[in-house]
A = this chain, B = another copy of it.
Amino acid sequence: MRTPRHMLWDQLFRLPDQPALPLQARLRAAVVREILAGRLASGAALPSSRDLARLMGLSRNTVTAAYQQLVDDGFLQARPRSGIFVAEGARQAVAEQAPAAPGLADGGHTRAPDWNARLVRSLSKLPTLSKPERWRDDYRYPFVYGSHDPQLFPTEDFRECCARSLARAQLAQWTPDFETEDVPDLVEQIRLRLLPKRGVFALPDEIVITVGAQQAFHLLAEALFDENTRVGLEEPGYPHARNAFLLRRPQLLPLAVDDDGLAVEALPPLDCVFVTPSHQSPTTVSLSLDRRRQLLQRAEATDFVIIEDDYESENLYEGTPMPALKSMDRSSRVLYVGALSKSLAPAVRLGFIVAPRALAAELRVLRHAMVRHPSAFLQHAYALFLSLGHHESHARRVNQALQERMTLAAAALHQHLPEFAFELPQGGASIWVRAPAWLDGAELAVTARRHGVLIEPGDVFHVSPPYPCPCFRLRLSSIAPGLIADGIVALRRAVDELADARGIGRRPLA
């Protein structure tokens, strides 16, 4: 793709965000950065100082001085009556001024270690939920996890909580090293405000704060799983939990899921089951009460333990959510994992585990070796956010928005993809769609990208995916409501394209 020249320069010379440095130094740093990164190659002509000054809104003196310094350093070359060019060997010169430039040596250096041979654990080849680079910019219809509507973000409320945490009188509450401890106020808020709504009552030393729910899965695997542990997973199930578990190489046993959730009647011998009772991930069904009872009975009878991911339990459009599986657990064998900040913003990263006291103590020591502890600043700010009632009011706003989007998506699916089946969920942010049997979700995902649509193909949720795997998930947390109908139309076009390629006849798009 050709970029107009002035846009290119504009991009190249985005100044590093260092207001404390003089403009001239920032401009020099930008040039050096681009040379080092290889985007300004030897012999490339730079804009005249006049042009660059105009382009960047700098004084011409600033640009001239920066250029002169770079010429003196040997990075640029001034050719009389021609202009300013990147000097021959400039990249090497930049790299040599730096005593080491590992990125440049990387691969090319004969004495470099063989990192591939040294890598003893890698997850990079495993299937997982992933998005293309620049997904937020390049795709108009992102039916995937990961973004959210900035209009819903409680900016003022969260800012107030951060500012309060940074009041001088509060510093002693969170600035010290917490070692294996957590911020007591956050533990109390979870205990007395969040958990009772889920029917769960816990003591403070049964709660372990984590860097999001993801760390909870990883921490439990580290404590409980080795090569001999038989871990049952819903099939299809949540790939990020599966990948965290895989680090400890347990025996993964896929367990069937049907319209009532995990099929508990025919469980193989197990040491642990990972389950998402609130909204099964990815099918969104809620595990029925009967199934919950049976699962707990089986766990007691055959002595396995349960990791409950109480995923999106607060995201219910109306009515009262079913209490957590943990609330029915009378033999302390359910380990409860909750997300805290997910509804606020995926990137804040706070979650927690409820576990029996002795195990919780071990988890805290393991956590210390992994990260010391989750940021106490965030813990403190989030405790305030909870204590002021912001968490609930934010969850209500999110739920209203999701319900609206769900209605729009369901109507568009019925209209444009009538042969696709789905159950409208009572809550959550996703629709699990079953396409006609000939269609593979992964192939659809690839084709849909060309139509500006991102979907989550069904195969990544499986330990052993079928082919074709005619399922996919539409997530509605990242897409603006006004784009949903158009997005489904675009998805329909992708389906038509695949059908045409296979010679499958379809009604034309209305």
Chain A residues within 8 Å of B, Cβ to Cβ = 16-20, 29, 33, 36-37, 94-95, 98-103, 105-107, 109, 111-113, 115-116, 118-124, 130-131, 136, 145-148, 150, 153, 155, 158-159, 162-163, 166-168, 171-172, 174-179, 185, 188-189, 192-193, 196, 199-203, 205-206, 211-212, 214-215, 218, 222-226, 229, 240, 243-244, 246-247, 271, 300, 303, 305, 323, 326-334, 345-349, 354, 356-359, 361-362, 365-366, 368-378, 383, 387-389, 478
Whole-angstrom distance from the CB of A500 to the nearest CB of chain B?
33
Inter-chain CA distance A369–B240, complex, in Å, is 6
Inter-chain CA distance A23–B114, complex, in Å, is 64
Question: Could you tell me if B332 and A102 are in contact, using CB atoms closer than 8 angstroms?
Answer: yes
Question: Could you tell me if B332 and A98 are in contact, using CB atoms closer than 8 angstroms?
Answer: no
List B contacts of A121 (CB < 8 A).
222-223, 226, 366
Whole-angstrom distance from the CB of A246 to the nearest CB of chain B?
8
Our pick among B107, B176, B199, B212 for the contact of A347 (Cβ within 8 Å) is B176
Interface contacts beyond A17-B387, A121-B366, A122-B365: sample of 20 additional A-B pairs, CB < 8 Å, sorted by A: A18-B192, A98-B199, A100-B201, A102-B356, A106-B357, A106-B358, A113-B332, A115-B358, A120-B223, A120-B226, A146-B179, A150-B175, A159-B162, A171-B345, A176-B478, A212-B372, A240-B372, A244-B370, A247-B366, A377-B378
Our pick among B112, B115, B123, B323 for the contact of A99 (Cβ within 8 Å) is B323
Inter-chain CA distance A98–B218, complex, in Å, is 28
Question: Could you tell me if A37 and B377 are in contact, using CB atoms closer than 8 angstroms?
Answer: no
Question: Could you tell me if B150 and A118 are in contact, using CB atoms closer than 8 angstroms?
Answer: no
List 6 interface pairs A-B (beta carbons < 8 Å), by A numbering. A106-B358, A123-B365, A146-B176, A175-B346, A348-B377, A349-B371
List B contacts of A226 (CB < 8 A).
120-121
Question: Could you tell me if A178 and B17 are in contact, using CB atoms closer than 8 angstroms?
Answer: no
List B contacts of A223 (CB < 8 A).
119-122
List B contacts of A300 (CB < 8 A).
111
Given A17-B387, A20-B389, A224-B120, A113-B211 contact (CB < 8 Å): no
List B contacts of A356 (CB < 8 A).
102-103, 106-107, 112, 115
List B contacts of A33 (CB < 8 A).
192
Total identical chains? 2
Our pick among B130, B327, B388 for the contact of A19 (Cβ within 8 Å) is B388
Our pick among B19, B332, B389 for the contact of A112 (Cβ within 8 Å) is B332
Given A17-B188, A19-B387, A102-B373 contact (CB < 8 Å): no
Whole-angstrom distance from the CB of A25 to the nearest CB of chain B?
10
Given A98-B196, A111-B331, A214-B179 contact (CB < 8 Å): no
Whole-angstrom distance from the CB of A188 to the nearest CB of chain B?
5
Question: Could you tell me if A347 and B175 are in contact, using CB atoms closer than 8 angstroms?
Answer: yes
List B contacts of A201 (CB < 8 A).
36, 94-95, 98-103
List B contacts of A323 (CB < 8 A).
99
Given A19-B387, A163-B159, A168-B150 contact (CB < 8 Å): yes
With both beta carbons as reference points, the residue of chain B lying nearest to A331 in the complex is identified as: B111
Whole-angstrom distance from the CB of A356 to the nearest CB of chain B?
5
Question: Could you tell me if B224 and A328 are in contact, using CB atoms closer than 8 angstroms?
Answer: no
Question: Could you tell me if B153 and A171 are in contact, using CB atoms closer than 8 angstroms?
Answer: yes
With both beta carbons as reference points, the residue of chain B lying nearest to A180 in the complex is identified as: B130
With both beta carbons as reference points, the residue of chain B lying nearest to A178 in the complex is identified as: B347
List B contacts of A36 (CB < 8 A).
201, 203
List B contacts of A145 (CB < 8 A).
177
Inter-chain CA distance A208–B188, complex, in Å, is 33
Question: Could you tell me if A346 and B176 are in contact, using CB atoms closer than 8 angstroms?
Answer: yes
Question: Could you tell me if B358 and A116 are in contact, using CB atoms closer than 8 angstroms?
Answer: yes
Question: Could you tell me if A224 and B118 are in contact, using CB atoms closer than 8 angstroms?
Answer: yes
With both beta carbons as reference points, the residue of chain B lying nearest to A95 in the complex is identified as: B201
Whole-angstrom distance from the CB of A354 to the nearest CB of chain B?
7
Inter-chain CA distance A378–B244, complex, in Å, is 23
Question: Could you tell me if B148 and A176 are in contact, using CB atoms closer than 8 angstroms?
Answer: yes
Q: Which residue among A94, A120, A222, A370 has the maximum number of chain B CB atoms within 10 Å of its CB?
A: A370
Question: Could you tell me if B16 and A192 are in contact, using CB atoms closer than 8 angstroms?
Answer: yes
